[in-house]
Amino acid sequence: MKCMECGNGVMKRVKTTDVITIDGGVELKIKSVPVLKCSKCGDVLMDSVAIARTKHLALEALVSHYAKTFEVPGKIAHWMRDAIGLTIVELAKKSRLSPSTLSKAAERNTIIDRFAAMTLLCLVVDHITGTKKASMSLESTQHLEKFVNQKDVREVELSLSA
């Protein structure tokens, strides 16, 4: 196939390293990405399958990294949310935060709420695996009170100081 950019070169299949730079300072280098590259001008074309695979690998790497601490910077959270096609309102609803809180975290690149980070990472895992297992396990942690004896709990007066 002739190069559409220069019109002289021939597009050849090669593997290259794709770099995804996420605003906020994270750079992901995805190795062995199949592309078409012009032998003359060096123009590169990546098909939709390669683009999807690259995004998939980037998401897996981000989940693997941030699942250790659940300290996800706002701009990374924004990129991940966008990569799986989730709106800020949907994430806010699932993580019990306001959309403006998530928006400010992305704008300022501050660490998002821990539960919001866990929720986002579970949703990303569900997107990657095509299941609902991660978000289902997260939902079960939202109801921890069912594991304690409610009769005993009624015997305690709880007072929290500020």
Query: Which DSSP string do the residues of 51-81 spell out, in sequence order?
Result: HHHHHHHHHHHHHHHHTTT---BHHHHHHHH
Q: What domain range is 39 assigned to?
A: 11-143
Q: Is the pLDDT of residue 160 over 80?
A: no
Nearest Cα neighbor of 76 from 126, 120, 35, 129 is 120
Q: Is the pLDDT of residue 156 over 90?
A: no
Quick one: pLDDT at residue 149?
Answer: 77
Digit-coded pLDDT (tens) for 88-133: 999 999 988 999 999 999 999 999 999 999 999 999 999 999 999 9
Q: HSE-up of 69 (CA within 13 Å, CB side)?
A: 8
Pair 29, 16: CB distance under 8 Å: no
The answer to the question of residue 149 being in a domain is: no
Quick one: pLDDT at residue 136?
Answer: 86
Q: Is the pLDDT of residue 9 over 90?
A: yes
The answer to the question of residue 84 being in a domain is: yes
Q: Is the pLDDT of residue 142 over 70?
A: no
Helix and strand numbers, DSSP H then E, in the chain: 7, 3
Quick one: pLDDT at residue 24?
Answer: 76
Q: Which residues contact 139 (CB under 8 A, 6 or more apart)?
A: none
The answer to the question of residue 23 being in a domain is: yes
The answer to the question of residue 156 being in a domain is: no
Reading the block at residue 119, the tokens are 């929720």
Averaged pLDDT of the chain: 91
Pair 92, 99: CB distance under 8 Å: yes
Confidence of residue 144 (pLDDT cuts 50, 70, 90): low
The answer to the question of residue 42 being in a domain is: yes
The answer to the question of residue 3 being in a domain is: no
Per-residue pLDDT, averaged over 74-96, amounts to 95
Q: Is the pLDDT of residue 25 over 80?
A: no
CA distance 15 to 161: 60
- Structural domains of the chain, count: 1
